Each structure stands twice: as structure tokens, then as C-alpha cells.
Amino acid sequence: MMHHADTIAISLSVIFYPQTPMKKTKELIGDAGVTFSNAFTATPLCCPSRSSILTGKYPHNHLVRNNSISGNCSSTAWQKEAEPFAFPVYLNKMRYQTFYGGKYLNQYGSKDAGGVGHVPPGWDQWHALVGNSKYYNYTLSVNGKEENHGDNYEKDYLTDLALKIYLTCILILYPNHPFFMMLCPPSPHSPWTAAPQYQQSFSDVKAPRDGSFNMPGKDKHWLLRQPANPMPNSSIEYLDNAYRRRWQTLLSVDDMVEQLIKKLDSIKELNNTYIFYTSDHGYHTGQFSLPIDKRQLYEFDIRIPLLVRGPGIKPKQALQSPVLNIDLSMTILDIAGVNLSTVNMDGQSFLPQMAPSLRNGTERPFFLVEYTGEGNSSEDPSCPKLGPGLAECFPDCVCEDAFNNTYACVRTLKDANLQYCEFADNESFVEVYNLTSDPHQLENIVKKVDPALLQIMNQRLIKLESCTGDSCRNVK
């Protein structure tokens, strides 16, 4: 049984381009351990993805569909049926000291679901943001008590406060018990408020112009066929500004990682600690002429960064094993010495891939990505021509979501680098991509592929969409 201290820092919507603002993080975690080049989310939206991280389950099993209470985000049903089986509960049973700081779930703290007084089971120290990402003028639940913050940078900037929470909590540890910390700063989520010292950084940075940037979404689901192409200059200026400001906010996360590691080193715990750095989903800025958002089935929205360092992990490793965010909880519990056969989760530990000297195991041959689309029941008054059923229609009335942007995909990497997706819409639309020959998913090859292969992928998808626990790991 390994009783190591674990720290996981989750930062929203980060993609590591070759030029990244996260230079210290790359050096201190990635270069000191392993970088996974094929890490994915099971669903590309905040609350369902975070629910997958906490429960180790695909969305069809944890039943969080979107970021609303009615979509089961931090609802009373979630609190009753899912939270008691989330991974911190198991860590607590192993006598881990557990700490949470930052954004939790988008609807956390809602008066309809227990308010700030609700502290999820398994957490000894609880410092969670009420609602969605903010940098100033927010409320925290501090162990169930309301704590209000203003707009003073020194006292209130949430990314920095998450670090202060960590530095304070680490001083009250019991020396003979391992600890687990989860730090979730708002960066780089909107409203993209950078710290004062970073507000002029990256003045010449623009969103990358490669791949599918400003390309038409032909042969794709209707939602991808609706944006104007080429994009108007107003959309391009908007997305470049968003991209630049996101990078600015990440400089504070980079500082946070540096200080976190320095503190672990100073208390002689660094070499005894696993540190995970990851995200809940990807993000797009101009791909297929969609200005900014997530929610889509394409690589830019489903890929996530994943860097890990810790005991038994050799430095400077680059691993291509496919890993999902539903695997994080199983990996953390594996490290903690929990008997994984007693845990009802869909994911699998990737400890064997990053530390083969500690564990034997196999990597998964394929996996599921699923998403339930959202739309407004009435038309958007600022975009009256579009009608109801759509959502996230900005800038320039380009809609990023709709009721029937509901899909499930099977993604394979081992034998063939393929993605097969089915939409729940009146077209029964199917998209298929060969990522080896077409890494930017420019051509939907559904009409060119051998029907026998389509049938195999369809059968795998059917099995994955109804899988639970072991059956998610054993789909043939």
C-alpha cells in the first residue's frame, strides 16, 4: 500500500500549444515526470466533465447533462446519489487529510440545493466557489460558512487565493497521515480577468491560424454548417482578444504551481507527492469558423493537458497511451492503496502506464465521448432570425450549441486512429474521421469508409453508451 501525498491542480480549458504561457508548469511537472499526449475528457463541458472527474463515471452513469440544476449540476439528486461515492470519500476512509480550494461545480451553493452550508462528504477542509468562475466579487463556502470577497487584488484574486488556501492548509497537516489537495483556480475561464501585473502580457499573441481555423464546416452536423465563412473581422478580433486574455490569466496559475512545488520542497514532501495538472475540457478559438467555446466533438474541445510527477515516475516521459478524465479518480485511489475492485467506477488507473515499476496493467483500446446539447426554449432577442432551440449565440450570432447537438462518439487510437460519432437528431447524422491522414478533421469520410467498419464502430458505441463499471473497461 502506498501512502503518498497527492496534489491535483485542475485548471479550466487549457490547451498546450508549442508556445505556452505555462513554462514553469511544463518544467516543474511535465519535464520532472510524464506528459500524456492523448488525454481526453469524456464530455466537453464544465459541470458534466467535473462530475466525471469526481465520480470516475461517464455522463450516462453520473447523469449530469449540463451546467444547470435541471441538468443535474450539483442538484439535490447529485448530492444524494453521486457525491457519497466520489473519490474523496474513499480517500477519507484511508485516513487521508483532504482539502478543496476553488471552483467546484457550476451550480454549487445554489439555494435550490443546500446553499453554502452543503459540504460534500469526504472533504476535511472545504473552500469552494459559489457558482461559476469569477476572479473578484464572489462568495466562498468555507467549511459550510459564507465568506464574501471583493475586488482587492491582494486579498481577493481567486487564483492567488487558491494558493493561499493551500499554503495555510499545509501548515495544519497531521504529520503521520497522507494528504490530498485539489486546487481549481478559475483561470483561464471567462471573464478572463488577469492579475494587474499580467494585463499587458502577450500583446502580440493571436489565436493559432493553422488546421481548421476559419475553415467551413462542410459535411458536418448542421450546427457546424451555420457559421459565416470566412469569419467577419469582428469575430476574429473577439476571439484573438479572448485567446490573449486567457493566456494572461494562466500566468497566475503558472506562479501558483511554482509556489506550490517550492512549499512541498521546503517541508521535505516533494519527492513523496504525486502532482497532477489537468483540465476539464479543451477549447476552440476560430476552428471551423466557431469563434469561442467548447461543447463540440472535435479534438480541440475533447483533448486536455495532463502532466504528472511523483514517486516511481521517471522524468521527461512522453506517453501516447489514451487516458480519460474518468481515469483520474481511479488512479488517485490506486496510489492511495484502495482496492479498486471495491470501487464502482467506469475509469481505470493509468498508474501502470506512468510508473510500470509499481503496477502492471493494460491501456484501453477505445473510449466514449458523449454530450447532451442545450438550447433556449425561446429565441435570443439579439439574434431574432435564429429562432428557438439554440444557445451560446455570440459573437455575431454564431451559435455554439443546440438541443440536437447531442452526440456520442467512439474514439480508437491503438489499431487505427479513428473517431465515429452519431447525433441524436432528425438527420441521424454520422461523422467519421481518420485522424492519421486528417488530424484536423476537415473531411467527414462516412460515405467512403467500408460499411463493415462502420458496423463495428456502431456496435462498440452501443456497448459503450450502456456500459457501467467493468463493462466500460471490457468492451471488445
Q: Which residues are catalytic?
A: 46
For cell 476552440, name the residue.
284
Give the long-range contacts of residues 373-380, CB within 8 A, separation 24 or more.
Answer: 373/295, 373/401, 373/402, 373/403, 373/404, 373/405, 373/406, 373/407, 374/66, 374/68, 374/71, 374/401, 374/402, 374/403, 374/405, 375/401, 375/402, 375/403, 375/404
Cα dihedral 207, 208, 214, 219, rounded to 10, equals -120
Query: For residue 2, what are the CA distances in angstroms to 75, 94, 134, 234, 345?
Result: 34, 11, 37, 54, 21
Q: Which segments of 221-266 does DSSP mark as H helices, in order?
A: 222-225, 233-266
Contacts of 266 (CB under 8 A, 6+ apart): none
Segment (H or E) for 369: strand 366-371
Sheet containing 418-423: order of strands: 366-371, 407-412, 418-423, 430-434
Q: Are 342 and 22 in contact (CB under 8 A)?
A: no
Those residues with Cβ within 8 angstroms of residue 7's Cβ, 6 or more apart along the chain or in another chain: 180, 181, 182, 183, 260, 264, 273, 274, 275, 276
